[in-house]
Amino acid sequence: MKKRLILNGLGTVNDITFGNVLVYKNSVALQIYNITEDDLPLEYERLDRAIEESKEQIIELKKTVDSSICNILDMHIIMLYDKLILDEVKEFTSENLKNIEYAYSEVMDKYSKKIASVPNASLADRFSDIDDIKNRVLSTLLKASTVEKHSIPKGTVIVAKNITPTDVLQFIHKGVYGFIIETGGTTSHAAILTRAYSVPSIFGVHNITNLCKTDDKVIVNSYESSLIINPDSNDLGNYKSIKENVLKEKKEYEYLAKEDAITLDNTKIKILANIDLPEESENVLSYGASGVGLYRTEFLYLYTDNTNEPILPTEEVQFEAYKRIALNLGDADFVIRTLDLGGDKVLPTIDESFIKDENPFLGWRAIRFCLANKDIFKTQLRAILRASVYSDISIMLPMVNFTSEIVATKEYMEECKEELLKEGMSFSNNIKFGVLIETPAAALTLDSLAKHVDFFSIGSNDLIQYTLACDRTNERVNYLYDPLHMSVMRLLKSIVDSASEYNRPLTLCGELAGSAEYIPVLLGLGLRSLSMSSVSIPMIKKIIRSLKLEDSEILVKDILETETLAEAQKLLNNFLKEKLPFIKKA
Ligand code: PEP
Ligand code: MG
């Protein structure tokens, strides 16, 4: 009988699943140690064996993938046996008397860097090949178990130390049932994706990769932020009844999606959807959104990389994506957020020095990256302009702190328009221009920003992170990440007041907008437009329809007068118990 274990973490969706664990190791822990001359033959033999084994793995993999990927895998086999590389690895080992995996890693990194220094964009995807080959050989040498994302058995629940947004997308497209991850908060982009796709997941589960093994059974109760490894028959009975409840709720939500988000005292709240991929735009209206308030374009870039398209999507690829969403949405709002790379969204295969920061959330992120990479940015702006003839598109810039960032973007836009005119391409002249308020700096200078934009949107995920100096992806400080902290409350209030003073429409599009328990706070603060993951919309409508605006305003007034976070939390909890007793996570 395997040991039953109950653990807790941070659930991302109100759903539950049951499946088989697959422990995913996405990077290989490299050890460095000294060897003697006598060890050399054995080290060389280990390398030769690892190369043979890696070839066998690739041949097996080829049987499960389509022909475009087979060509790449054939090339991997050729690169595996590259004599120049293998000779150099052996030479490095004998000269430095270090273990063979260290030598292999050093030599492969050297070639990776060499390619990086060649100014040829089409060589960029060689980085990923070299990295892939390096990881494969190293994991074979270290006998680490890597997982082929190409062949995931049905019913798999991925368990990993950490996971990138790109990994999440790939696994979701392979049909995994759930994720259990050691690190990460609920507003990390990996977590946001699991929510967008309604895949029951739990982040921040301490030591999970050591507490379970591949093929263990697991119940992922994302609804209650808990999981059970090797559940017994009672647990399975419970699982079934919770699942039935979830299905019942889903039925109720189908009805709610069609209703207006209107308070008991008749204030209508605008509800928009956040989307991460073009295909999501097919369903947003049926979930009850009146448009898209945030399209995170960077996932197009990350995803493209993994389907072996060019790493940076061309203007044409982007144009098609934006056009597809525009056509799906018709007359509805469509806000395209320009590229927000950096932070926890890095292009996995680009040379690390290009994009790696010591403090990624404080570094070369979002608008900063775009303004410094004019070609990349203009490619996106041109694509957006071209798609603007298909619907009412608005452009929104992420992480703006300076009015000069808006001015520079507008200049790029003008250049793009001139170019397009010369090329005989059409675009709309009525594109609205907005910025995300994601830093205290932006929040406190809304008056200056207002002169340059048509609308604002609050990126609360980042605003909270930057206000409280609390990494949104770090589960160890998640307990500090609290929207009720007076600093956040005051900033939100001042943003709402300034936006209204300068007559600029304001939306809130962070995860807070889809968090049931904070809706009374947001309405009480004066927000009248919210953008969230589509799956959250019906529940949020239910809450708005159960609230009186007047009560929410009194709640917020009282919260703003508290002296401690605990008092504020107590006020909200009491309010929820009294007015919204059906909320699960009160
Ligand atoms: C935010 O920061 O709240 C936001 C909407 O942007 P993202 O989550 O993509 O950083
Ligand atoms: Mg943000």
pLDDT digit string (tens) for 466-524? Answer: 999 999 988 899 999 999 999 999 999 999 999 999 999 999 999 999 999 999 999 99
Classify 180 as helix, strand or coil: strand
Instruction: Give the model's pLDDT for residue 489.
Output: 98
Examine the domain organization and report whether 227 and 257 are in the same domain: no
- Least-confidence region, from 117-131, 252-266, 368-382, 421-435: 117-131
Examine the domain organization and report whether 327 and 417 are in the same domain: yes
Examine the domain organization and report whether 435 and 373 are in the same domain: yes
Q: How far is the CA of 568 from the centre of ligand 1 (A)?
A: 25
- Give 273's Cβ-side CA count (13 Å radius): 30
pLDDT in tens, 210-269: 899 888 999 999 989 999 999 999 999 999 999 999 999 888 888 899 999 999 999 999
CB 272 within 8 A of CB 507: yes
225 domain-assigned: yes
539 domain-assigned: yes
Closest ligand 1 atom, CA of 459? 3
245 domain-assigned: no
CB 342 within 8 A of CB 355: yes
Contacts of 460 (CB under 8 A, 6+ apart): 483, 492, 508, 509, 510, 511, 512, 513
* Residue 462 beta carbon below 6 angstroms from any ligand 1 atom: yes
Examine the domain organization and report whether 467 and 554 are in the same domain: yes
The region that residue 134 occupies, defined by phi over 0 for left and psi between -120 and 50 for alpha, beta otherwise, is alpha
Structural domains of the chain, count: 3
Examine the domain organization and report whether 57 and 131 are in the same domain: yes
Examine the domain organization and report whether 213 and 254 are in the same domain: no
Strands 156-160 and 393-397, by their bridges, are unpaired
Cα(306)–Cα(310) distance, integer angstroms:
9
DSSP string for residues in 531-572:
EEEGGGHHHHHHHHHT--HHHHHHHHHHHHT-SSHHHHHHHH
32 domain-assigned: no
492 domain-assigned: yes
pLDDT in tens, 400-437: 999 999 999 999 999 999 999 999 999 999 999 999 99
Ranges of H-type helices in 333-402:
352-355, 366-372, 374-387
pTM to 2 decimal places: 0.77
Examine the domain organization and report whether 115 and 185 are in the same domain: no
Q: Is the pLDDT of residue 122 over 60?
A: no
| CATH number of the domain residue 43 falls in | 1.10.274.10
Closest ligand 1 atom, CA of 340? 9
Which residue type sits at 17? T
End-to-end C-alpha distance for the chain, whole angstroms: 36
Examine the domain organization and report whether 408 and 508 are in the same domain: yes
585 domain-assigned: no
pLDDT in tens, 141-191: 876 444 555 467 889 999 998 887 878 887 888 899 999 999 888 888 889
Domain holding 99, by residue range, is 37-142
Examine the domain organization and report whether 227 and 341 are in the same domain: no
Q: How far is the CA of 363 from the centre of ligand 2 (A)?
A: 13
* Residue 541 beta carbon below 6 angstroms from any ligand 1 atom: no
Q: How far is the CA of 275 from the centre of ligand 2 (A)?
A: 13
Examine the domain organization and report whether 442 and 534 are in the same domain: yes
509 is catalytic: yes
* Residue 507 beta carbon below 6 angstroms from any ligand 1 atom: no
383 domain-assigned: yes
Examine the domain organization and report whether 179 and 163 are in the same domain: yes
